[in-house]
Homo-oligomer: A and B are copies of this chain.
Amino acid sequence: MPRTSDARDRIVLTAARLFLERSYHDVGVEELCAAADVRKGSFYHYFSSKAELANAVIDMHMQVFQTRLTPEPGATPAQMLSAIPDAIGAIQADLHAHFGRFVGCPFGNIAAELSTTDETVRIHLAARLAALEGQLARVCRKAADDGTLREGVDPDRLAHALFAHYQGLILLAKLHCSDAAALTPALHDFVGSHLAP
């Protein structure tokens, strides 16, 4: 038997995989427990509800995004800005390789499925994504300050627009089963259209 201390991690990892492979609603707690090799009682020891598990899955993915989107020390604002499409593209390339297709953004999928049906998850995810957008906005502000951005581009609006653009691209890529290589260039196109000539 695996150690009990591993059980929570196993539930979160299994849920993260199954939610991406199919969807939040398509995977029941019973199936999840079987796939994670934990008893149902054990599940409810760690999570009061499936929604609480969704929040834990969000936090797990958020650690990856925050880490990969942290600028390299010593990078110029232009380099930091250009690193954002590369980092997001790399996260999605990993997911594409793992699942053999685009499965969407872990955050976007849950936002689409649960924003109108579960207020606790909506509030949790909205706060996490606002923080991530804040991280992008700090880079965009540095790029505005040193003249990397085209005149008149508001850095905070750009951070939101960039994150939105990623969400829309990956949603359509999931729908159209697009090629893994298409995402990063499209994100670079978006950033490029906001740079000073």
Contacts and interface: CB of A to CB of B under 8 A. Distances in A.
Interface of A: 20-23, 25-26, 101, 103-104, 108-109, 111-117, 122, 125-126, 129-130, 150, 153, 157, 160-161, 163-169, 171-172, 174-177, 186, 189-190, 193-194
B161 A190 contact: yes
A193 B112 CA distance: 27
Q: How many copies does the complex hold?
A: 2
A112 B115 contact: no
A165 B172 CA distance: 10
Nearest to A125: B175
State the 10 A-B residue pairs at the shortest beta-carbon distance, nearest first.
A168-B168, A112-B112, A164-B168, A167-B168, A25-B25, A111-B175, A193-B193, A164-B169, A115-B174, A115-B175
B103 A116 contact: yes
A168 B162 CA distance: 9
A15 to B, nearest CB: 15
Contacts of A150: 193
A111 B167 contact: no
A123 B108 CA distance: 20
Contact of A111 (B153, B171, B186, B189): B171
A23 B116 contact: yes
Given A126-B175, A168-B169, A23 B111 contact: no
Contacts of A103: 116
Given A22-B116, A164-B172, 17 more contacts: A23-B117, A25-B25, A26-B117, A104-B115, A112-B113, A112-B174, A122-B175, A126-B177, A129-B176, A153-B193, A157-B186, A164-B165, A164-B186, A167-B172, A168-B168, A168-B171, A193-B194
Nearest to A24: B25
